[in-house]
Amino acid sequence: ADVEQAKAAAEAPAAAPAAKNAAPAANIPAGTPVVAPLNGTFYRSDAPGKAPLAADGAAVKAGEAVCVVEAMKLFNPIKAPAAGKITFLVEHGKPVTKGQAIAVIA
């Protein structure tokens, strides 16, 4: 019985990561992702108290600054990789990691 319990315990963790990894991708809308080029803090405006660079659901142009990622007190503008309607995936002021999808343009 102990061998069966040990075998079951060893197999269970292997199945869990696959399900965990599959869930976030299902929540990302179809379109061109806007990804964070570095680790930092995501902001929809380029300075405190200013209006967002792009409103959620707004039409944006390719190359247009749509948000910023702050790292080491530097605000790095993030430009739209394509034209279309933008949907933000990250809340204003939240940390992001390099390569993370922060918005989608459809």
CA distance 39 to 83: 25
Query: Which residue ranges of the chain lie beneath pLDDT 70?
Result: 1-26
Q: What is the DSSP letter of 76?
A: E
pLDDT digit string, tens, across residues 10-19: 555 444 444 3
pLDDT of residue 2: 54
CA distance 80 to 34: 7
pLDDT of residue 104: 98
Residue 101 lies in a domain: yes
Residue 74 lies in a domain: yes
Q: How many domains does the chain have?
A: 1
pLDDT of residue 26: 53
Q: Backbone phi, then psi, for 23, in 5-degree steps?
A: -60, -50
Residue 66 lies in a domain: yes
Residue 20 lies in a domain: no
Q: How many residues does the chain have?
A: 106
pLDDT of residue 28: 73
Closest C-alpha among 75, 20, 5, 90 to residue 45:
75
The whole domain housing 96 covers 30-105
